[in-house]
Structure 1
């Protein structure tokens, strides 16, 4: 496995730097003013990094979790049976899933890895064979995520480019961070923006600040400036006014979980952006890998929404700075909201574009089956 897999080209930002036996995660809580990488030694370090949002973004969370356990077992002195090894891994994966519950990518990756090691254990002669199979699979997930992101970017940009009509270029608004910092590399929604820029179709990207943790102002703006993509930062509350001004042609956001009907959970504030886009007649797209789709739930009503610390609202700098709100005020701080399928124009995936089967829903199961 090559060291520090790069998502696109030399100089691209990387949130996950991995080579066998070593894992470093970019501490995104310290961006954009400091670039600091933390050494991850085991699954406990991985769990803490995910929970504390050192690493965030649904694809990146899943990969960081898987690789933190890969580092642990790579350096583990284990004397049990293959079945013991599989049980050890299964328990650790269950523990890692508890770090953040809303993003389906983490639980999906954990289930795939758990099934793999249980199957390997049935025929393995020693525990090390099970651990090696796990490490190989976790590394493959890292490589596959980069390829998937680039495919999402291609399909999304191609779709938007085909709808340019009389416009020579397109301006796109995005919410939260969905780029190299939220994935293994390149990005999902921000990957679409990168692909539009590469094709010469992008006029400008607009990114929201994404309160209260400011992923947009701290991270997305950081990536856009780093890649020299023409971009403007706006306050979350300025979205409707910007759309009314007629300078936004499309919205592209990521997803932490997509229900079978197309209802999509994403960073808090996405629903408001979708409602504003609908009111102003602006196309609203979701960009996400197939692993973000959860066919076990029929609608967004079944998605568990994580609630974050009240400090993120009571204090500046996403809860890390001085107090800015009145003492004694109660706080409701959901990390995500659910955008209903009826507000979503289409979904960009690595397998292609999922279009509406009716005015209010998508036939996502049918799309996945036909794409196999």
Structure 2
């Protein structure tokens, strides 16, 4: 049968109270068996000796001193042994423990209050002295063992904490190296190639006379320059590993949605119907969803037209991006196919849902539903 659950501080207090009561009872029984209650002074001495055991945790040495008279006046030794154990668990002075053990053995051997004729200590007292030293050694050794166990447990906890900290530092070091390597790759490879795209687009913008080609070159150059700015900021963030937290590029809002649709490089129409401001996480989710949908339409449905709708109805914001079937051949472009997965995870974190799939006219539709608490 399992013990009922009790709060740890309360349970600890109950255990201490039961231990104290048990030790005081043991001391009183020992004195009773040894005849310590035969006289009023003896009874008073037993009461004091047993009562001071309640203070053994706070003042172990004074408690031991107060229990010595009971050993000297009778054969009741339980209180003194308990006090000596408490002292041994709390002090690191071995000479002090040796002195206390010697005092206990001397009082145990001393024939008081009945005086002895002749020598105070004789050869016949040696066995009593040895027995008294043996009795004193038991609680001293046991108390030192308990103290060593506590020290070992504390040392193990410290070693565990240090080892966990070292593992954390090692992981941070590996992460810093990986981030530095990624920053170098982004700076040396990606930024270089995007720079070439921006330069070639700028040259095409100046040299061509075709209005459509000039507009396309202008869009490519503008997007390339914006991508370069974001790449430079990302490189600085990656290189700042181990330092204070660095803010990423200012997060987009719905105020930038019109600029995103206008500069997406394809024919797109935006229709926004919202009631009031939306929380920043919701705005970012809508922006990134529209951005990913327009990118997919540009890559996989060239020549199509896209319609973007953002509507707020009954506490839910629905964002729908629908593109028609492509009218030109699709160019093979690299893709990790992680865009929709990331959008779906972002929607789930906000308590919403993301659905996507082909339409009946061979187009594609992406729909995002996000709950919005009433303001």
Q: TM-score, normalised by structure 1?
A: 0.24
Q: Which has the higher strand share?
A: 1
Structure number with the bigger relative contact order (C-alpha 8 A, sep ≥ 6) is: 1
Q: TM-score, normalised by structure 2?
A: 0.24
Q: Rg: which structure is higher?
A: 2
